[in-house]
Structure 1
Amino acid sequence: MRTAAVLTEYDTPLDLRDVEEATPSPTGIAVETDACGICRSDWHAWKGHWPSVPTDGHILGHEPAGTVIAVGDEVENYSIGDQVGIPFNIACGCCDNCWSGKSHLCTDGLSLGFARDLPGAFASEFTIPKADFNAVHLPDGMSSVEMAGLGCRFATAFHGLAHKVNVCAGDWLAVHGCGGIGLSVVNIGAALGANVVAVDLNEDALALAKEVGATATVNAGDQDVSKAIRDITNGGADISVDALGIAETCRNSIDCLAEQGQHVQIGMTTDEEAGEIGLPVDKMVNTELEFVGVKGMPPNRYPELFRMIAGGKLSPVDLVTDEVRLSDVSDQLRSMDDYDTLGMEVVTEF
């Protein structure tokens, strides 16, 4: 048996209980969970914003790292005792997107912890199918906590800035929302040479943003955010990221851009927006703005991120502000209702 925090009803505490042990498929591995991040995407699922997430004893958790404890007969690249991390987009390995290096957009892919057929890692053990394609080995010197800090947030932010838009040295980059995603964007943007303007309501979050690379900060509670950014940047940001996913931050992100600027959407919407946000389409046309969506990062791109971490250019572990127990997950999710979190929380006791 293994211990898990189980979803039985939306917006209610997870049920800590014993469940069946983790047994891998022939292509899969079972992993003892050493660390698992608590992400705002978990909060979205827990709140019921995504009704496809089941409530019949499902296990959330999609930012894990751990130790391989069992290996399927067909697995070639992993052995018992290996330290691994798991990108949350679990792919089939054989569709056109997988073959072309876009496995995070796999036609038959599943999201760890969000799909009925793929329970997550808010548990002492979990399994991953097609492990040769979907898991990554932890580099020497990287801890499970740091890998969990990469989670979906840091990796998604890296994919967005390094692969999807044109961040150049000296660019102005605006970041709306300084939770885990936003702080990741700040750290990565600074490492790529951008001047970063961080926006939030929380002064502690803004202070942390300065520590990890922000050039300037804007408190969204006491001024016109878009005007403040245009003033700081002398005309508008080259790239702007909505790291929160509410209508206000999305609009502010687009409104603060200079001509031919790029808006990057990483934050997912709540049930208030229900996936739909009104946009200034005429302005976007007349100033040739781009709207870019970002979802995760394929495993084959992780070595780029690992090399920057090893070289000291990026430090996701600096964004991990608290290590908690599995029994604390419900309280941590509840605190996200009021944005009452700072940085990233990681479960390290199961």
Structure 2
Amino acid sequence: MRAMVFERYGEPGEVRDVPDPVPSGGGVVVRVEATGLCRSDWHGWMGHDPDIRLPHVPGHELAGVVEAVGSGVANWRTGDRVTVPFVCACGSCAECAAGQHQVCSRQTQPGFTHWGSFAEYVALEHADVNLVAVPEELSYDTAAGLGCRFATAFRAVVAQGRVAPGEWVAVHGCGGVGLSAVMIAVAAGARVVAVDTAPAALELARAFGAAHCVDPGRADAAEAVRELTRGGAHLSLDALGSPITAAASVGGLRRRGRHVQVGLLPAARGAAALPMERVIGWELEILGSHGMAAHAYPPMMELVRSGALRPDLLVSSTIPLDGAPAALAAMGTAPGPGITIIRPGADGRN
């Protein structure tokens, strides 16, 4: 098969022929019809993830067709249209037994713990636990964005953030995760303040229903959020992942507000200096959010199916596999608004 491979961190990869994957007893091989280009892939390419071993094939947001099935798989057949959370759970550890597959202690992650979906085919483990059916009316491009950014935002806003109608929600960083969070919070009846330095990202946030937009290059983000919401956000998300955005997210909360950290904070960048005296004095909640289990997809999928949520509107561009090396490298300096989808199929099918 053809895949994008990199052999050194931070140096351009190349698309070349590599051996086809084979399914494990409980796993499947999926023919990748669409895969998202995510900032997490860029972090892995830069060497920020200890699970990656070189040479490596990135990619963790995917949708496609089951091509081969392991002997122990009960619920899936070749030809099934599927997607998968970026956290593939084992299904048998204590966390999985409690239904918390997104923090499985033996999790695997395509594109991190093993070769990923910037390829024509990808192997996935524990298929009966992790695969999610993609309905015929949902395009592969749309489904690919669900496994990381949209599902992550959905759980961060709805489950971890406990959003309620009429609340103020601040979203710091309006890339794929942030714009997903804006859309989901608005659909839940919340009022949203979107924070980003890119005019195009703020324009999309406004189109998706944000009540206010803030450019932190022009104004103090935390102060602006407090002023616009008359006291601070009830819920705030750092969807980018930097010490500056994390601190601004906490600083923009009202008393007893809730901060959800979604964006990764690599150790190489240093820890975020959160205003812990305010966390204590105002009884703020600091929460993490890490993807979403496959069994938790049905409510989100129903909202997508009904048209209440439109993840298809987040797809801003599509590129062939040959364009993946340059696009991945550009994520560090010019990630662009929305979601870029890679189509590995040589015929550009979708």
One of 325, 334, 337 as aligned partner of 2:329: 334
- For the residue of structure 2 that corresponds to 1:279, the secondary structure is coil
Does 1:7 pair with 2:16? no
Does 1:318 pair with 2:318? no
**Which residue is 2:243 aligned to?**
247
**Which residue is 1:144 aligned to?**
140
Instruction: Give me the whole-angstrom Cα distance separating, in 2, the residues matched to 1:249 and 1:94.
Output: 36
Structure 1 residue 270, shift from structure 2 partner: 3.8
Instruction: Give me the whole-angstrom Cα distance separating, in 2, the residues matched to 1:282 and 1:349.
Output: 49
The alignment's TM-score, normalised by the length of structure 1, stands at 0.96
**Matching of residues 30-41 of structure 1 within 5 Å:** 30-41=29-40
**Which residue is 2:348 aligned to?**
none
Letter in 2 for 1:317: D
On the 8 A contact 1:242/1:250 being kept in 2, the answer is yes
Structure 1 residue 15, shift from structure 2 partner: 2.1
Structure 1 residue 104, shift from structure 2 partner: 1.2
Structure 1 residues 109 and 349: CA distance shift in structure 2, 3 A:
closer
**Which residue is 2:172 aligned to?**
176
**Matching of residues 169-318 of structure 1 within 5 Å:** 169-270=165-266, 272-274=268-270, 276-318=271-313
- For the residue of structure 1 that corresponds to 2:269, the secondary structure is coil
Per-residue Cα deviation, 1:30-64 (whole angstroms, up to 9, x for no partner): 11100000100000001112243112x21110001
Structure 1 residue 71, shift from structure 2 partner: 1.1
Does 1:119 pair with 2:118? no
Letter in 2 for 1:100: A
One of 86, 90, 93 as aligned partner of 2:91: 93
Per-residue Cα deviation, 1:233-289 (whole angstroms, up to 9, x for no partner): 011110100011111111110111000000010001245424x21211111100000
Structure 1 residue 139, shift from structure 2 partner: 2.2
**Which residue is 1:78 aligned to?**
76
- For the residue of structure 1 that corresponds to 2:245, the secondary structure is helix
- For the residue of structure 2 that corresponds to 1:258, the secondary structure is strand
On the 8 A contact 1:139/1:306 being kept in 2, the answer is no
Per-residue Cα deviation, 1:286-308 (whole angstroms, up to 9, x for no partner): 00001010000000001111001
Structure 1 residue 119, shift from structure 2 partner: 1.4
**Which residue is 2:20 aligned to?**
21
Instruction: Give me the whole-angstrom Cα distance separating, in 1, the residues matched to 2:36 and 2:306.
Output: 23
Structure 1 residue 26, shift from structure 2 partner: 1.6
**Matched residue count:** 345
Instruction: Give me the whole-angstrom Cα distance separating, in 2, the residues matched to 1:15 and 1:277.
Output: 35
Instruction: Give me the whole-angstrom Cα distance separating, in 1, the residues matched to 2:288 and 2:273.
Output: 16
Instruction: Give me the whole-angstrom Cα distance separating, in 1, the residues matched to 2:32 and 2:286.
Output: 37
The list of structure 1 runs, each at least 4 consecutive aligned residues, that deviate by more than 6 angstroms after superposition, is none
Letter in 2 for 1:113: G
**Matching of residues 153-168 of structure 1 within 5 Å:** 153-168=149-164
Instruction: Give me the whole-angstrom Cα distance separating, in 1, the residues matched to 2:335 and 2:78.
Output: 39
Per-residue Cα deviation, 1:301-349 (whole angstroms, up to 9, x for no partner): 0111100111111111100100111111121122222244111001014
Structure 1 residue 168, shift from structure 2 partner: 0.6
Instruction: Give me the whole-angstrom Cα distance separating, in 2, the residues matched to 1:320 and 1:46.
Output: 22
Q: Which runs of 5+ in 1 are unaligned?
A: none
Instruction: Give me the whole-angstrom Cα distance separating, in 2, the residues matched to 1:28 and 1:52.
Output: 20
Structure 1 residue 112, shift from structure 2 partner: 1.6
Instruction: Give me the whole-angstrom Cα distance separating, in 2, the residues matched to 1:24 and 1:307.
Output: 30
Letter in 2 for 1:306: M
Instruction: Give me the whole-angstrom Cα distance separating, in 2, the residues matched to 1:83 and 1:46.
Output: 29
Instruction: Give me the whole-angstrom Cα distance separating, in 1, the residues matched to 2:250 and 2:89.
Output: 32
Q: Which runs of 5+ in 2 are unaligned?
A: 346-350
**Which residue is 1:64 aligned to?**
62
Instruction: Give me the whole-angstrom Cα distance separating, in 2, the residues matched to 1:145 and 1:126.
Output: 17
- For the residue of structure 2 that corresponds to 1:114, the secondary structure is coil
Instruction: Give me the whole-angstrom Cα distance separating, in 2, the residues matched to 1:339 and 1:251.
Output: 23
On the 8 A contact 2:118/2:344 being kept in 1, the answer is no
Letter in 1 for 2:22: T
On the 8 A contact 1:335/1:341 being kept in 2, the answer is no
- For the residue of structure 1 that corresponds to 2:332, the secondary structure is helix
**Which residue is 1:106 aligned to?**
104
Letter in 2 for 1:209: A
Instruction: Give me the whole-angstrom Cα distance separating, in 2, the residues matched to 1:3 and 1:299.
Output: 28
Instruction: Give me the whole-angstrom Cα distance separating, in 2, the residues matched to 1:108 and 1:202.
Output: 38
Letter in 1 for 2:307: G
On the 8 A contact 1:37/1:151 being kept in 2, the answer is no
On the 8 A contact 1:171/1:195 being kept in 2, the answer is yes
- For the residue of structure 2 that corresponds to 1:324, the secondary structure is strand
